[in-house]
Amino acid sequence: MNQKMLDQMAAVTEAQYLREHAKIKPILDAEAALRGKLAKLDAQMKETRQQSEQDHAMRALGADLLWQGWHSRTRRQLNIELAQVTARKLKAMDQVRKAFGRKHAVQTMADQERKRKKLDQIKKLETQLLG
């Protein structure tokens, strides 16, 4: 393969890699948001437990049980969403890895071809000078 073709292939594989890499950003953002919501939910639960231990009226009305039910449903839903986002992330990461592998392979081939051409030129010059 000639250098021009390898350079064109390198540009194409670089673009493909960047496209795949860009696809993963919203997925990572969604994952971070869900993890943040889960952490906030945990903090709220911890705070509510401390309050409910001191607030007997809340217990008497059953508000603590309603809160725990809401907390459990919300946690379950967030964990389901997190599992779905994680699955999408793993699939996208596979695509990014493949694109990176292609990009790296083509770039390596282009670099090797450049080195080979340079060595050929050096050998030609040596033969001209010594010959």
The model's confidence at residue 48, banded by pLDDT at 50, 70 and 90, is confident
Which pLDDT score, from 0 to 100, does residue 97 have? 96
Q: Which residues contact 47 (CB under 8 A, 6 or more apart)?
A: none
What rounded mean pLDDT belongs to the chain? 91
> Does 52 have pLDDT greater than 90?
no
Taking residues 108-121, what's their average pLDDT?
A: 94
Count other Cβ atoms within 10 Å, centred on residue 20.
20
> 55 φ, ψ to 5°?
-105, 95
pLDDT, tens only, 69-104: 999 999 999 999 999 999 999 999 999 999 999 999
Which pLDDT score, from 0 to 100, does residue 118 have? 95
pTM above 0.85, yes or no: no
C-alpha pair distances (Å), 4 with each of 1, 110, 114: 8, 9, 10
Maximum alpha-carbon separation in the chain? 104
Q: Which two tokens stand for residue 47?
A: 């705070």
At which residue do the structure tokens 């607030």 appear?
55
Distance CA 64, CA 47 (A): 12
> Domains in the chain, start-ordered, CATH in brackets?
3-130 (1.10.287)
The model's confidence at residue 58, banded by pLDDT at 50, 70 and 90, is low
The model's confidence at residue 59, banded by pLDDT at 50, 70 and 90, is low
DSSP 60: H
* Closest C-alpha to 106, from 2, 25, 11: 11
Check the CA dihedral 16-22-23-28 and report its sign.
positive
Which pLDDT score, from 0 to 100, does residue 1 have? 75
